[in-house]
Structure 1
Amino acid sequence: MKKLLFILITINCFAQAPAVEWLKTYGGSEGDTSYSIIQTNDGGYISCGYTTSCDGDIVGNHSCGEGNADLLVFKIDVTGSVQWTKSIGGTGTDFARSIVQLNDGNYVIGGTASSNDGDITNNDGHGDFLAVKIDQTGNILWQKTYGGSGVEEAAHLEKTTDNGFIMCGLTTSSNNGDVSGAHGDYDFWVAKIDNQGTLQWQKALGGSNGDQAKCVIQDTDGGYIVAGYTTSSDGDVTSMQGCYDAWIVKLTPTGQIQWQKSLGDNGCEMIRSIRKTPDNGFIAFGHKGYKAWVVKLTADANIEWQKTYGGTQLQNAESISLTPDGGYIFCGNTFSSNGDLLNIPGNGKAWIVKLDAAGIIQWQKKIGGSDDDYFNSIMPTADGGYIVSGEAFSSDGDITASHGYIDFLMVKLAPDPLSNATFQYENLVVFLNPTTNLLDVKTPNNDIIDQVLITDLSGKTIIRQTQNTNLINTQNLASGIYFLQATSNHKTYQTKFIKQ
C-alpha cells in the first residue's frame, strides 16, 4: 500500500502594492537624514531632519569642520525636484524631528538644539527643545529654545487648535530653567507654546527611572495624548511589567494628568507614533520586542486589538498614518525575510505595510539596497498615493544615486489600488467633493446637525463647528484628504472628502 505524503506550504498572499512613481536621494558627502515629511499646500513636499554635510545639495551648514549637525529642511516639488534647502543651527549639534505647515503657508519646525551661536540663541543647557518658524522660502521668522541645565531632546511637534504648538520629548534637568516637576533619571517633557513661540506651560511626567515621550497629539476635547515608554513603576506611573512598557498619558488642555496607562507584558514595548481615529479612539504604533506592534485603543486607552508584524530578525517601527479607506499604513525598517516577510519581493530593508481597519496586512513593500536603509515618516497624498521619507545608506538596488555616507531618502508611491477613490458616503451627503471652498453637509433625513468635526489623516482636529453646520468653509484647509464626522440627534455619521 502506498503512503501519501502531504506537505503544507505557507504562502503570504497580499494585494498588489502601489508602484514607485519616483525615488530620490538628496544630500552631501557625509550624513543626511529625514525624520519627517508632509505634503504642502502647493502639492509638493517638505521634509526635515539633519545634515553633517557641507557640499552637494547642502548649503550653509554652520557646523562645517566641527563634526556636528545642522537642522536641515528640504522643499521639493510634486516630482521630487529640489526647490530650496535650508540649514539652521550653530556649531553644536542641532536637528529637526517634525515640521508642520500653517494656514499662511509658512512652517514651524520642532527639534533639538545644543548650539548657542549661529541661528540659535539662549540655549539653557546641553540640549534644548527648539521651535523655528520659517517662511515659504526658508527664511527664519523666529526661533525659540526651551529647557533647563540638563538635556532636553524633542521627539515631536504638532499644531494645536488655538494656533499654537505642543512639543514632547525628554528632560534630564532637575527643576531649573523652564523645567519643573521632574521625577527621575529622565522624564517625559511636554511644552505648550503659543503662535509666537512663547512658552505657555510645561509638564514633566514619569517616575524615578527613565521615561521618554515619543509622540503627542491633541484630543478632540482640547487635551493632549502623549505616548512613549517608561522604565518606572512609581511617581506618575502606576505599573510597569517588563524591561520597559509603552506608556500613554492623557493631559487636560492646561497640562494636568487626566489618566495614564501602561501597555505591555514582561517584554519590551514602546510607542513611537499615535493617531486619533474617527471613532474617537487611537491607533498606536511602536515595537514589542523585535516586532513592529500596532494597538487599536478606545478613547480611554483600553485595548480593542493588537497585532505584531515582521519576522525573526529586528523590525524598527517609526510612523503610522490613517488611510482614506479606513485602514492604516506604517513604515520603518526590517532585517527579516521570514514570517510576514516571506516571499516579499525586494532586497531592501526600508519597509512599508498597509493594514485594513482590523490590522490585517493588505500589502507591503521593501525598498532599498544591500545596506541598511530606513523609512521614518509616511503620509497619504492628495492623489491617493503615499509620500515616505527616511535615510539611505545603500548605493545599489533601488538606490540609483548616492551622494555620500547617508542620504535623505524620499519615495512617492502611486495611488493605492485599495483606496476607495469614489468615496461611498456612509449615510452622510456631502456636496462639492472634491471641494475648494465650501462643503454642503446633510444627513439622510435632513436632520439638524449639532456638530461637525473635521480631522486630517493624522487624527488632528482641524475644524469643530457647532453653528451653521450644514455649510463648512474649507478655504483655509491645506490640500489633502480629510475625515468629516457629524453628530445629529445622538447619532454619529462619518465620511471623507478631498480638499483641492
Structure 2
Amino acid sequence: MLFLIHVSAVSFMFRYGGADTDEGYAGMNTSDGGFLAGGIWGSYGANGDFGIVKYDRLGVLVFGKSLGTSAEDRAYGLVETSSGYVLAGRTLSSSGNGGYDGLVVMLNVSGNFQWAKFVGTNLNDYPYWVVEDNDGNILAAGYSVSFGNGIWLFKMDNSGNLLWSRSYEYGDASIAREVRVDANGKYILAGRVGSGSNYDGLVLRVDNSGTPLWSLRMDLGGEERIFSVSQTPSGEICAAGYTNVDGDYDILVLRMDTLGNVLWVRKVGGSSDDQAFGVAASSDDGCVVVGYTFSYSHDFLGFEDAIIFKLDASGNLVWARIFWGENFGDVGNSVHRASDDGFLVVGNSYKLVGFSTVSDWFIVKFLADGTVCSDQYASISPTITTPSYTTDNTLPTFNDRTSSTGLIDVSLTVQTLPQDTVIFCTPLGQNDELDVEERGTCASSGRILEVFTTDGRRYRSIDEAPRGVLLLRTERGWRMYLKR
C-alpha cells in the first residue's frame, strides 16, 4: 500500500513545554509551507528566554531553540524576513542600556543564531511586536518610559542596524501592542492610551518614515484596550481587544476604513470575563478573533477556555468555538491566516505540575471553517451587541528619537530544545490522500487497528514500527503520528 499525502488543508493541536511556565505569543505560516511559533521559555532558559519552534507543513517539528542572556528575556513578536526569522521582546540584562531594553534576534531559516541587538535607553523600553516592511526592513513597536511614556516605533535593516526611532505621545501613557504593514506600505499600530483604569483603545496609522497619518481613540465609557489589528482583502481594518463598560470584561471588535472612520463596533461576551488578544482577516473579507472566555468555558471547575470566532464583513457572527488542553485554563494570544485559508493560533495551555499551575505553548491549526483535528473543542453561540462609543482623532506628539536610542551588539546563549511536543491530535486535514481507495480525516483518539509507514509497510503496533512519520488506522479514522 502506497500512501500519497497531498495536503491542501491541515489541522493540528500541539502543546509544547516543560516543568516551568512557557508562554506562546506569536505564530505564522512560513514561505516553505511550514509553521513558526515564538514566545517565552521558562523551562529551558535562565530566568526565561526567547523561544522559537518550527514545524513543517504536516505539523512535524523541525527545530526548537531557546535564546537568551543570563537575565530575564521575554519574546512577544515573531516574523519571517527575507534573511530568516526575527524575534523581538524585552530583556533585563545588565549588559544593556539600562532597565528593560528591547531585544531583537535574527536566526537563519535553519534556526541558527545570526545576530542580536539591545535597543533602548537607560529606562524601560521594549517592543511587543515585529514585522518586515515592503523594503525588507524590520519594524518593531512597543513602549518607552524615556520617550514620554509613549508608543515607541523603530526600524532596523536586516543586519540589525538602526535606521530610525520614533515616539508618539498622547499626554497619558500609551503602548503599542502590535504593528502591521498595510497594502499601501504604511504602518498600522494597535494599543491603548490612558492612565489608571481609564484607558481608551487606540489605532494609529503612520507612513513609512513614521509620520502620523491618522489616530483613533475608542471609548465605550469603561476600560478599553486594543491588542491586535489586521487589514482585510478589501483594504478595511479590523481591530480587537476588550472593554469592561458593563462591569465584566467583554471582547471588543471594530472595523474601520483606510482613513480611520469607524464602520461598526461589536461587543462579544457573556456573564463573566472574556478578552481578545489577536485578530486576522479572513480571505472572504471577514475577521477571526482569538482570546479567552470564562462565560462559555466547558470546564466545570471554572477555568477559562481559549476562544476563536469569525465575524463577516458586516459584523455578523459566522461561527464560534472554544478549545482547551488539560482543563486548567487556556488562552489564545495571536492568530494568523495560513496559506490554506485556515488559522494558526498560538497561546498558553495551563497544567498542574506538583502543586503549581504552569503553562505550555498551545499551538493550534484550525481549518477555514473553524474546525480542528481534535475532540477538545466545541461550538458556542456568544452574545453579540452593538455598543455606543465616542472617538477622538487627535494626532499624537511625534518625535524623532534616533539619536537617543542606544544599540548594543550582544551574544546570546542558544540551546536546542528537547523533541517532546505533546500531540493532542494529528496533522491530517481535508483532502489528504491516503491511498486510491481510502480517504479520511484525522481522529484524536480510538483504538489503533493498523500502523503503516509512509512507504506502505504495515505493522501491528507503534512499538514494532520504525521511528519517523507513521499513519495509524484507528476506530475513529486515520491519524498521523511522529515516533521519535
**TM-score for both structures, normalised by structure 1:** 0.66
1:32-70 CA-to-partner distances (Å, cap 9, x unmatched) read 11101111223221110001113xxxxxx2x1xxxx110
Structure 2 match to 1:135: 108
Instruction: Check conservation: 1:206, 1:230, Cα contact below 8 A.
Output: no
Structure 1 match to 2:226: 271
Instruction: Check conservation: 1:348, 1:367, Cα contact below 8 A.
Output: no
Match of 1:307, SS?
A: strand
Task: After TM superposition, list the pairs within 5 Å mapping 1:399-478 onto structure 2.
Answer: 405-416=358-369
Shift of 1:417: 7.9
Shift of 1:319: 0.6
Instruction: Check conservation: 1:27, 1:404, Cα contact below 8 A.
Output: no
Structure 2 match to 1:318: 277
Instruction: Check conservation: 2:49, 2:73, Cα contact below 8 A.
Output: yes
- Give the residue type in structure 2 aligned to 1:225: I
Shift of 1:280: 3.0
Instruction: Identify if the C-alpha distance between structure 1 residues 80 and 280 changes in structure 2 by more than 3 Å, giving closer, same or farther.
Output: closer
Task: After TM superposition, list the pairs within 5 Å mapping 1:231-310 onto structure 2.
Answer: 231=194, 243-289=198-244, 290-310=249-269
CA distance in 2: counterparts of 1:21 and 1:158, whole angstroms: 25
- Give the residue type in structure 1 aligned to 2:28: I
CA distance in 2: counterparts of 1:363 and 1:349, whole angstroms: 16
Structure 2 match to 1:171: 144
Q: Please tell me whether residue 389 in structure 1 is matched to residue 346 in structure 2.
A: yes
Higher relative contact order (CA 8 A, sep 6+): 2
Match of 2:358, SS?
A: coil
1:83-103 CA-to-partner distances (Å, cap 9, x unmatched) read 211111111111211211123
Deviates more, 1:359-368 or 1:95-104: 95-104
Pick from 298, 319, 334: which aligns with 1:377? 334
Q: Please tell me whether residue 365 in structure 1 is matched to residue 284 in structure 2.
A: no
1:398-437 CA-to-partner distances (Å, cap 9, x unmatched) read xxxxx9821111112234289xxxxxxxxxxxxxxxxxxx
Instruction: Identify if the C-alpha distance between structure 1 residues 395 and 45 changes in structure 2 by more than 3 Å, giving closer, same or farther.
Output: farther
- Give the residue type in structure 2 aligned to 1:349: D
In structure 1, runs of 5+ residues without a counterpart are 1-18, 55-60, 117-121, 174-181, 233-239, 397-402, 419-500
- Give the residue type in structure 2 aligned to 1:127: Y
Shift of 1:342: 10
Match of 1:80, SS?
A: coil
Q: Please tell me whether residue 107 in structure 1 is matched to residue 85 in structure 2.
A: yes
The ranges of structure 1 where at least 4 consecutive aligned residues each deviate by more than 6 angstroms after the TM superposition are none
CA distance in 2: counterparts of 1:278 and 1:21, whole angstroms: 24
Task: After TM superposition, list the pairs within 5 Å mapping 1:43-54 onto structure 2.
Answer: 43-54=33-44
CA distance in 2: counterparts of 1:73 and 1:85, whole angstroms: 6
Shift of 1:209: 2.8
Shift of 1:207: 3.3
Shift of 1:277: 2.6
CA distance in 2: counterparts of 1:252 and 1:137, whole angstroms: 33
CA distance in 1: counterparts of 2:36 and 2:206, whole angstroms: 30
Instruction: Identify if the C-alpha distance between structure 1 residues 275 and 415 changes in structure 2 by more than 3 Å, giving closer, same or farther.
Output: closer
CA distance in 1: counterparts of 2:75 and 2:67, whole angstroms: 9
Match of 2:14, SS?
A: strand
CA distance in 2: counterparts of 1:319 and 1:308, whole angstroms: 15
* Equivalent residue pairs, number: 354
Greater strand proportion: 2
Pick from 83, 95, 98: which aligns with 2:77? 98
Structure 2 match to 1:485: none
Shift of 1:348: 6.0
- Give the residue type in structure 2 aligned to 1:333: Y
CA distance in 2: counterparts of 1:361 and 1:247, whole angstroms: 24
Instruction: Identify if the C-alpha distance between structure 1 residues 415 and 278 changes in structure 2 by more than 3 Å, giving closer, same or farther.
Output: closer
- Give the residue type in structure 1 aligned to 2:262: I
Match of 1:231, SS?
A: strand
Task: Provide the aligned C-alpha RMSD in A.
Answer: 2.7
Pick from 100, 125, 150: which aligns with 1:187? 150
**TM-score for both structures, normalised by structure 2:** 0.68
CA distance in 1: counterparts of 2:35 and 2:66, whole angstroms: 17
Pick from 307, 314, 318: which aligns with 1:351? 307
Instruction: Check conservation: 2:241, 2:252, Cα contact below 8 A.
Output: yes
Instruction: Identify if the C-alpha distance between structure 1 residues 335 and 29 changes in structure 2 by more than 3 Å, giving closer, same or farther.
Output: same
Shift of 1:219: 3.6
1:132-169 CA-to-partner distances (Å, cap 9, x unmatched) read 11012211111112110111121111110111011111
CA distance in 1: counterparts of 2:68 and 2:303, whole angstroms: 36
Match of 1:98, SS?
A: strand
Structure 2 match to 1:147: 120
Structure 1 match to 2:435: none
- Give the residue type in structure 2 aligned to 1:362: V
Task: After TM superposition, list the pairs within 5 Å mapping 1:483-494 onto structure 2.
Answer: none
Instruction: Identify if the C-alpha distance between structure 1 residues 348 and 335 changes in structure 2 by more than 3 Å, giving closer, same or farther.
Output: closer
Instruction: Identify if the C-alpha distance between structure 1 residues 144 and 342 changes in structure 2 by more than 3 Å, giving closer, same or farther.
Output: closer
- Give the residue type in structure 1 aligned to 2:42: T
1:365-395 CA-to-partner distances (Å, cap 9, x unmatched) read 1111432211112223233332212111046
